[in-house]
Amino acid sequence: MSKPKILVARAVFPEVIARLEAHFDVEANQADTTWSKAELIRRLQGKAGAFTTGGDRIDADVLAACPELRICANMAVGYNNFDVDAMTAAGVLATNAPDVLTETTADFGFALLMATARRITESEHYLRAGKWTKWRYDMFAGSDIHGATLGILGMGRIGQGIAKRGAHGFGMNVIYHNRSRLDAALEADCRASYVSKEALLKTADHVVLVLPYSKASHHTIGAAELAQMKPTATLVNLARGGIVDDAALAEALRNKTIAAAGLDVFEGEPQVHPDLLTVPNVVLTPHIASATLPTRLAMASLAADNLIAFFTGNKPLTPLNPAVLAIK
Ligand code: 8YV
């Protein structure tokens, strides 16, 4: 019996490709070429499955052009690259890669917060440029993390990981806002108090964004929200580009409406708003929050496990639209 054909849309660990090859006829993009939508559609012809990453958009056009497609397994917890409603309507299963990246991403959130609040990259650039000629009492003075108020917008698994680091490790006062309030046991575990978005913006010394991207969360932080924050506050975006209005943020950083920002994700990435590149009080990283090799391998393995389970008649581990399975 011939093996199902799958497409692996981006380069991935050779051992994951080898594992997929044991089950599937694999077309892999190990050259890591960036494909246009037309090229993705061309490559998906005849494929029953796709291994995707956050940059591979599966929407109604792609689904209409690829009628043989039955499952797309995302190597990411976020899945705003999927039109899940269109996938459900087309009978295509969507899976993501949650949990395996939670602690690694929360570690990075804390690293980005600390680098931002303590001006680590800005001061390093100064040193490397040969500008450090003497010590000064207020040189690169930043803001404290310990004992400060940490505001977390979006209290899913990663938000909870950041809350625990802040509360248990740094004695922070943790407040959060989320679509739904956590149950009392989880709140106690995180030592976090539920507040309104407005109260969070007004009282937090450090605001960390970890909410999923959707039309509803587009520009959750724009000029009006930045104006509500303390002038000494820092903002960290770990979630998705588009949750912050990057042009408004660059202006707020330039005007010192807020003190500093740390960004791992950008609107239209890998392009970065040019104004962000010219303000000094922002730490910029290229979407690396989950980037440790063990975690990236776990994410890729989970995506592969979902594909293998689906085609061997087992239940995929992390389905996003399980109704599709019930229909079959
Ligand atoms: C990925 C992410 O690196 O999991 C997510 O949602 O944003 C990152 O961990 C990226 O999306 C690649 O798939």
- CATH number for the domain formed by residue range(s) 5-98+293-327: 3.40.50.720
Could you give the CA distance from residue 125 to residue 199 in angstroms, rounded to a whole number?
Answer: 35
Domain segments of the chain as ranges: 5-98+293-327, 102-284
| CA–centroid distance, residue 99 to ligand 1 (Å) | 12
- CATH number for the domain formed by residue range(s) 102-284: 3.40.50.720
Ligand 1 near 75 CB (within 6 A): yes
Ligand 1 near 302 CB (within 6 A): no
Long-range contacts at 198-201 (CB < 8 A, ≥ 24 apart): 198/228, 199/175, 200/151, 200/153, 200/175, 200/176, 201/151, 201/225, 201/228, 201/229
| CA–centroid distance, residue 125 to ligand 1 (Å) | 28
Give the pLDDT score at 60.
98
Give the mean pLDDT of the chain.
97
287 catalytic? Reply is yes
Q: What is the mean pLDDT of residues 268-281?
A: 97
Give the pLDDT score at 326.
83
Counting residues of the chain whose pLDDT is more than 90, the rounded percentage is: 99
pTM of the predicted structure, to 2 decimals: 0.97
pLDDT tens, position by position, 73-115 = 999 999 999 999 999 999 999 999 999 999 999 999 999 999 9
Residue 60 CA: distances (Å) to CA of 5, 218, 294, 327 = 21, 21, 34, 19
Q: Which of 118, 240, 273, 296 is the catalytic position?
A: 240
Give the pLDDT score at 1.
75
Could you give the CA distance from residue 55 to residue 51 in angstroms, rounded to a whole number?
Answer: 12
Q: Return the exposure string of 101-125: e unless at least 16 CB atoms fall within 10 Å of the residue's CB, then b.
A: bbbbbbbbbbbbbbbbbbbbbbeee
Confidence check: pLDDT of 327 > 70:
no
328 band by pLDDT with thresholds 50, 70 and 90:
low
Q: What is the mean pLDDT of residues 63-73?
A: 98
Q: Which of 27, 122, 251, 269 is the catalytic position?
A: 269
| CA–centroid distance, residue 181 to ligand 1 (Å) | 25
Q: What is the mean pLDDT of residues 306-320?
A: 97
Give the pLDDT score at 269.
96
Give the pLDDT score at 63.
98
Among 52, 77, 105, 209, name the best residue to mutate to test ligand 1's pocket (greatest count of ligand atoms within 8 A of Cβ). 77
Among 51, 287, 320, name the best residue to mutate to test ligand 1's pocket (greatest count of ligand atoms within 8 A of Cβ). 287
Give the pLDDT score at 216.
94
Give the pLDDT score at 115.
98
Ligand 1 near 53 CB (within 6 A): yes
CB 66 within 8 A of CB 47: yes
What is the DSSP secondary structure assignment for residue 211, as one 8-state letter? Answer: P
240 catalytic? Reply is yes
Q: What is the mean pLDDT of residues 167-183?
A: 97
Q: Return the exposure string of 161-186: e unless at least 16 CB atoms fall within 10 Å of the residue's CB, then b.
A: bbbbbbbeebebbbbbbbeeebeeee
